[in-house]
Amino acid sequence: MTVNGTQAGVMEGAPHEVAALDAVSVRRYTTGQVILDDIDWTVRSGEHWALLGANGAGKTTLLKLIGALMHPTTGTVEVLGHRLGRVDMRELRAHIGLVSSAQKVPQDATAHTVVLTGHTGTVQPLWRKYDSEVRERAHALLAELEIKELAERPYGVCSGGQRARVLVARALMADPSLLLLDEPFNALDLPSREDLIDAMHRLALTRTELATITVTHHLEELSPAIGHVMLLKEGRVLTSGPVADVLTGVRMTECFGRPIEVSRHEGRWLARSGRR
């Protein structure tokens, strides 16, 4: 299966589509409820997107579509050059990195073992699949995320921020072109949050072909690498585009239904509720 842009004949370094949604809608079969309605969206290599919206806006469903975890009711979804419905979803998912605080991994497994499982896309390690080269790659990814000292520490005793970076390293084992982060900052304290933001910023600088999509509720969790934002409201795209055009008080107020003031300082964003 060819999913890498260079293998498909795209010149290395030239931005190319990694995900494209055209007139996509998702409805709940049992009730007919519209979860997503007429979504158009294109994500290109090297782009870093934030996906924002109130609870129930459709963010997680949209991420599941791009993560090849579900099909749309109507419209088309193409990921890494393959249209959902015409490709083996399991094989496609092997080339997409996913990080979620809800991911289940063995608590007693070492950080190195957890990263190794990213090679096979399994929860439990498949030891026969991990040769010396694969094991060394897992160590290199821990070093890249600046947590190499955690290699032999059980995942269950790592801090929340350390766990988040272990999961990022695990997601990178497949050398994905697309990395999806579903509320990766959930329940992190301030130092842990900043460590993860710094890690994501470094990845953006060193892995220039990698595209990322981050679902979050807080502008303070966006790294300076975020260049594009989509705002979802009640299953529809309210607006999307360059970060400076989208993250405005007017747009955020419209999205969340209450006065919001937005400010920016040294590449970082801050939102707070204004007075009514």
* pTM for this predicted structure: 0.89
Fold that domain 1-95+177-189+206-276 belongs to in CATH: Rossmann fold (3.40.50)
Q: What angle do CA 186, 126, 145 make, to 5 degrees?
A: 40
Please check the confidence at residue 276 and state whether its pLDDT lies above 80: no
* C-alpha distances out from residue 50 to 7, 43, 159, 246, Å: 28, 11, 25, 11
Mean pLDDT across 134-153: 95
pLDDT of residue 8: 39
- pLDDT tens track for 176-235: 999 999 999 888 899 999 999 999 999 999 999 999 999 998 999 999 999 999 999 999
- Encode pLDDT of 16-27 as tens digits: 999 999 999 999
Q: Where in the chain is the domain with CATH 3.40.50.300?
A: 1-95+177-189+206-276
- 105-129 pLDDT per residue, tens: 889 999 999 999 998 887 887 888 8
- Name the nearest CA neighbour of 60 among 213, 259, 242: 213
- The pLDDT > 70 percentage for the chain reads 95
pLDDT of amino acid 246: 96
Range scoring the smallest mean pLDDT among 7-11, 31-35, 50-54:
7-11
Residue 3: pLDDT above 70?
Answer: no
Amino acid symbol at 189: D
